[in-house]
Amino acid sequence: MTVDTGAAPAEGAAERSGAGRRPVPEDAARIGVDLWDVTARLEASGFSDAAARAAGHSSASEWARELIADRARSGPLDRQTRVEPRGHLLTAALGRAIVMLAGVVICASTMPRRSTEVVVFAVAAIGWMTAQVVSAALWHGLGRGSRGEAVRGAMVVAGLMVLVGVGMWIAVGQPTVLIWVLWASSAPLLVTLRPGWSLVAWTGLAGGLCALAWLFGEAWQTLAVAGAATTLAAVSAGSVAGAAMRDARPGIVRGTTAAVVMAAIQTAAHLALLLAVFLRVGPGAFAAVALAGLAAGVLADPLFALARMGGGWVGGRFTSWIFGRSLAASAGPPLLATLCAVALGVALVVLADPYRIYLDEPLVLTAAVGTAAIVATINALLRTGSAFGAMFYTVVVCTVGIVALTYRLPTEDAWQSAPFELATAAMVTLAAIIVTHRLSRPQAW
């Protein structure tokens, strides 16, 4: 669902600002991400409008504008302080969404048609886990170290996950496992290091070929096409990673292991809740929850990109810190409501199949909405540099969800039949608070 587990920009910036020394205006310009943030940092450091006039500037905002111009003339910015062009943000987000969908099509087309539902769940789970931990290593490295070190850490984690995939292949006799792991290991590297529509077009073509093979071809043909596409992706990712590591100092960024462990715990907690729902409602109804979660995960990236663009727009036009924070935060509830509504709509479409009978549709719909809320909150926390917060939130809400699901009884007593629904309502409320709060902190994006 989520592939962005980068290190906290605020933490890295704090390290570069030099703890224990008197702040200077240039610190705010070097650390801040836009006019709004630089102005706020100047004021927080004691450089008020009066201090700005004493230094020959009309106001703190005008001082911040001149500092940003000086910083731009001094050379390229590093990753922590660079403000991406607006179009690039949305284009990159849409590209990642299409890659994600194409990867799901490629991997799903390799699944044998006679596989048990438990095998399907297990294979998809290991693929999801692989993508999360590889992304965690890569983004943590990009936030804290050099590009070569970041790629080296991600490649180490990818190699370990491939070994796990080979072990599962031997254990269950399903070569599909290895295809899912290879694709999940390759996609984060390719999307991050070689973004662009050429990659998206190639991935969409590969997904279309696999879909055609799945619909019209034999099982071995499907496996061959998907295997070839996945092998090409893995080889491409390996070559790109090798180029990125060339001429880089040896080593892996400090803290990569902790970032990977937190991503693994976060994903495992989410999978545990989904497994509990799967065992409770059965494979047919669970398809509605899975597709709803996939839809929320795909849309979350572009929506948060739009929110980031909105924050940049506010930062460039308003110098009032309080007003700007409130305006940026106002995007939180609509963003969460959109993801929950899409998830609910997808679940309703799946449940509308007249050839299937579901015994507990309210539980399925509630699980779909809860999944969307978890996806949105994880995205908000990870994108503002709180990997530990994302892990802690997921563990807590999923544990509460599993307990509520365990004590949910199919009776007419509302209090005995609705604990999971009440827990999900609390989960959505907490998600709205966290997303709104995080969107009001543009300096952390």
pLDDT digits (tens, 9 = 90+) for 34-79: 676 677 777 777 777 777 777 777 777 788 778 777 765 554 443 3
Q: Looking at 163-177, 321-335, 346-360, 406-420, which range is the least confident one?
A: 406-420
Q: What per-residue confidence (pLDDT) applies to 18?
A: 41
Q: What per-residue confidence (pLDDT) applies to 105?
A: 77
pLDDT exceeds 70 at position 395: yes
Q: What per-residue confidence (pLDDT) applies to 143?
A: 74
Q: What per-residue confidence (pLDDT) applies to 6?
A: 39
User: Are 401 and 287 contacting, i.e. CB atoms less than 8 angstroms apart?
Assistant: no
Higher-pLDDT residue of 260 and 215 is: 260
Q: Produce one character per residue of 406-419: b if its CB has 16 or more CB atoms within 10 Å, e if not.
A: eebeeeeeeeebbb
Q: What per-residue confidence (pLDDT) applies to 67?
A: 78
Which phi and psi angles does 82 have, rounded to 5°?
-75, 135
Q: What per-residue confidence (pLDDT) applies to 384?
A: 79
Tens of pLDDT along 131-189? 999 998 888 887 776 777 888 888 888 888 888 888 888 887 777 888 888 888 888 88
Tens of pLDDT along 80-98? 333 444 557 777 788 788 8
Q: What is the residue-averaged pLDDT of the chain?
A: 76
Q: What per-residue confidence (pLDDT) applies to 269?
A: 93
Mean pLDDT of 358-373: 83
Higher-pLDDT residue of 439 and 226 is: 439
Mean pLDDT of 319-329: 67
State the CB neighbour count (10 A cutoff) for residue 48: 13
Q: What per-residue confidence (pLDDT) applies to 264?
A: 92
Q: What per-residue confidence (pLDDT) applies to 47?
A: 76
Q: What is this structure's pTM?
A: 0.72
Burial of 317 (0-12, 13-18, 19+ CB in 10 A): exposed
Cα–Cα distance, 245 to 239 (Å, whole number): 10
* 96 three-class SS: helix
Burial of 403 (0-12, 13-18, 19+ CB in 10 A): middle
Mutual orientation of helices 117-144 and 283-317 as an angle, nearest 10°? 20
**Could you give the count of Cα atoms lying within 13 Å of 182 in the half-sphere of its Cβ?**
22
Q: What per-residue confidence (pLDDT) applies to 399?
A: 93
Mean pLDDT of 109-136: 82
| Percentage of the chain lying above the pLDDT 90 cut | 12
Q: What per-residue confidence (pLDDT) applies to 80?
A: 33
Considering 4-8, 285-289, 372-376, 407-411, the range whose residues carry the highest mean pLDDT is 372-376
Cα–Cα distance, 66 to 79 (Å, whole number): 21
List alpha helices for 18-115, DSSP H.
25-31, 35-44, 49-54, 60-74, 86-108
Q: What per-residue confidence (pLDDT) applies to 270?
A: 92
User: Are 312 and 32 contacting, i.e. CB atoms less than 8 angstroms apart?
Assistant: no
Considering 2-16, 390-404, 417-431, the range whose residues carry the highest mean pLDDT is 390-404
pLDDT band, very low/low/confident/very high, at 414 (cuts 50, 70, 90):
very low
Q: Measure CA 239 to chain center.
A: 25
User: Are 347 and 289 contacting, i.e. CB atoms less than 8 angstroms apart?
Assistant: yes
Q: Looking at 77-91, 235-249, 277-291, 358-372, which range is the least confident one?
A: 77-91
Longest alpha-carbon distance in the chain = 78
Domain ranges of the chain: 9-32+35-74, 87-254, 290-444
User: Are 190 and 233 contacting, i.e. CB atoms less than 8 angstroms apart?
Assistant: yes
pLDDT band, very low/low/confident/very high, at 405 (cuts 50, 70, 90):
confident
